[in-house]
Amino acid sequence: MPPRLTGRRLRAAAMALTAASAVIVGVLTGSGTAQAATSQPCDIYAAGGTPCVAAHSTTRALYATYNGALYQVRRASDNTTRDIGLLSAGGYVNAATQDSFCAGTSCVITIIYDQTGRNNRLTQAPPGGFNGPAAGGYDNLADATAAPITVAGHKAYGVFVAPGTGYRNNSTNGIATGDQPEGMYAIFDGTHYNAGCCFDYGNAETNSRDNGNGTMEAIYFGNIKAWGYGTGNGPWVMADLENGLFSGANAGYNANDPTLTHRFLTAIVKGEPNHWSIRAGNAQTGSLSTYYNGARPNVAGYNPMKKEGAIILGIGGDNSNSSAGTFYEGVMTSGYPSEATENSVQANIVAAGYAPGSSGNNLLTPGSSISLRATTACCTTRYINHSGAGVNTAVVDSASSATAKANASWIVRAGLANSSCVSFESKNTAGSYLRHQNYQLYVHANDGSALFASDATFCPQAGKNGQGNSFASSNYSTRYIRHYNNLVYIASNGGSNTFDATGLWADDVSWVVTGSWA
């Protein structure tokens, strides 16, 4: 069904255009930063007659006047929490607060606040149809430092969802229920995804269970093909409507839904009675494209919809939690937003200036040959080394044999599971990579599986003890490459394994990246 420009929609489109002009004028006149302009995404949705009823971001304010906390972190060293706020009203996150609070330890994101004033915050998802891996069947919380980026040059962190991670609110205020109209957008890392069910942001069941077709309406991003899919190998933006990810009207393939891998991806799903749409674009440049705009799926149970109004992030409606992805910001609206309103929001997003973070180390670029030196006082002459499949730390110096030097040398590759991160291919065993298995590191041949890719992908960040870099596991993002008794693990800061010991954790997970010995 094509969108009709009713009087209400014409008025909304005109208001949204006015709001967009305000942003553009702000940018063109150089009146402060782009973000100092009057309208942020939720101001634009309000001007379009479809106000935000949930607004989540770890990177910036989504209203020009918002000046509260964006999210809360908890650190492992003493289990205390800290709210992370803004540099200025309507502006960017003050990530330095997190950096100083989390220095020398690890932090997880405990709350993503709702900027609308409706208290639709996201917290650790409870068990539902499926249990999560944390205590009591809850899902894991995201490592607060695993997705570093910049926005307009300001440091920020996204919500890195490794499998098992999930956020939810089952008791919301103002979110669409039944067949009520709603819209939503989210900004994701288009290079971080998997084929697990289901990396979603949006409307879901209030009891965390599969309550049947039409009881959800959320944005999905990933390359699972169990339900719908589009062209290419994925990932695709689809709508999770429960018991089905829809790429268009058909239950399976829809030719108009393309594979999208923008590093920063704007993804949109919206729905109203017997009408819904998928839109997406590059969050760093350009405009949105419409990949579906029509009637509800030609499958029973989705018209009328039976939305329940919970909010999920990183999981499926029934707490399926094997998915992966990264979230930076997103909103849900009351009412079906016009394309003009969404186009203005996209202009605002592009002007915001999302950019990849840097590991701060030029050696960590794909193709570099490197060695990884321990920084703990005991061990500063030791490097990560392999002998066949076994991995340990070994002393290497200029007098070491050529074999010993080659065993401690690695070629940096784009992360096999996430090209924003890295993998380490053995310099002397081509096609074999450092990977973890049962939390210990080995060098194994790449078998091409999704599991291997995840096990062999590590996300660099500043060293936890202030030296070099630390490397978070891509699929266990609160675990970092650590040496312990000269063996090498992925370790959390405290936990049930001996190698998770808190003593010397920050030193043991910090590595100086040097040019390779071989």
Q: How far is the CB of 197 from ligand AHR (least distance, A)?
A: 5
Closer residue to ligand AHR, CB minimum distance, 220 or 328: 220
Q: Give the Cβ contact number of residue 473 at 10 Å.
A: 28
Q: Which structure tokens are listed for 420?
A: 């924003």
Q: Which structure tokens are listed for 292?
A: 């579906």
Closer residue to ligand AHR, CB minimum distance, 189 or 242: 242
Contact 395, 382 (CB under 8 A): yes
Best CA proximity match to 150, nearest among 96, 195, 85: 96
Closer residue to ligand AHR, CB minimum distance, 94 or 207: 207
Q: How far is the CB of 215 from ligand AHR (least distance, A)?
A: 8
Q: Where on the chain is the footprint of ligand AHR (CB under 6 A)?
A: 197-198, 210, 240, 242-245, 316-318, 320
Q: How far is the CB of 396 from ligand AHR (least distance, A)?
A: 49
Closer residue to ligand AHR, CB minimum distance, 243 or 457: 243
Q: How far is the CB of 5 from ligand AHR (least distance, A)?
A: 32
Contact 396, 383 (CB under 8 A): yes
Cα of 188 vs its chain's centroid, Å = 6
Q: How far is the CB of 176 from ligand AHR (least distance, A)?
A: 17
Query: Is the previous residue joined to 235 through a cis bond, with omega within 30 degrees of 0?
Result: yes
Closer residue to ligand AHR, CB minimum distance, 227 or 489: 227
Catalytic residue among 143, 242, 257, 507: 242
Q: How far is the CB of 214 from ligand AHR (least distance, A)?
A: 10
Closer residue to ligand AHR, CB minimum distance, 244 or 460: 244
Return the residue nearest ligand AHR (CB atom): 316
Sheet holding 354-356, edge to edge: 154-157, 148-151, 354-356
Q: Which structure tokens are listed for 417?
A: 């599971």
Closer residue to ligand AHR, CB minimum distance, 226 or 451: 226
Q: How far is the CB of 133 from ligand AHR (least distance, A)?
A: 17
Euclidean distance between the first and the last CA atom of the chain, given in angstroms as a whole number? 63
Closer residue to ligand AHR, CB minimum distance, 245 or 443: 245
Closer residue to ligand AHR, CB minimum distance, 312 or 421: 312
Contact 178, 82 (CB under 8 A): no
Strand, helix or coil at 238? strand
Instruction: For residue 412, give the amino acid letter.
Output: V
Residue 242 among the catalytic residues: yes
Sheet holding 200-204, edge to edge: 81-84, 71-75, 107-112, 122-124, 167-169, 310-313, 200-204, 217-222, 236-240, 245-246
Question: What are the residues whose beta carbons fall under 8 Å from the beta carbon of 300, sequence distance 6 or more?
Answer: 213
Q: How far is the CB of 323 from ligand AHR (least distance, A)?
A: 9
Rounded to whole angstroms, the Cα distance separating 265 from 280 reads 7
Rounded to whole angstroms, the Cα distance separating 515 from 518 reads 9
Contact 225, 254 (CB under 8 A): no
Best CA proximity match to 422, nearest among 383, 364, 370: 364
Cα-flanking dihedrals φ and ψ of residue 25, to 5°? -60, -45
Contact 208, 125 (CB under 8 A): yes
Q: How many helices (H) and strands (E) does the chain have?
A: 7, 32
Catalytic residue among 318, 425, 507, 508: 318
Contact 72, 171 (CB under 8 A): no
Q: How many CA atoms lie within 13 A of 245 on its CB side?
A: 28
Strand, helix or coil at 339? helix
Closer residue to ligand AHR, CB minimum distance, 131 or 497: 131
Q: How far is the CB of 317 from ligand AHR (least distance, A)?
A: 3
Helical ranges in 287-388 per DSSP H: 339-352
Torsion of CA 191, 158, 350, 314, to 10 degrees: 60
Integer CA distances (angstroms), 155 to 43, 97, 209, 351, 356, in order: 24, 11, 37, 16, 10
Q: How far is the CB of 205 from ligand AHR (least distance, A)?
A: 7
Residue 217 among the catalytic residues: no
| Cα angle for residues 37, 271, 66 (degrees, 5° grid) | 25
Which residues are marked as active site? 242, 318
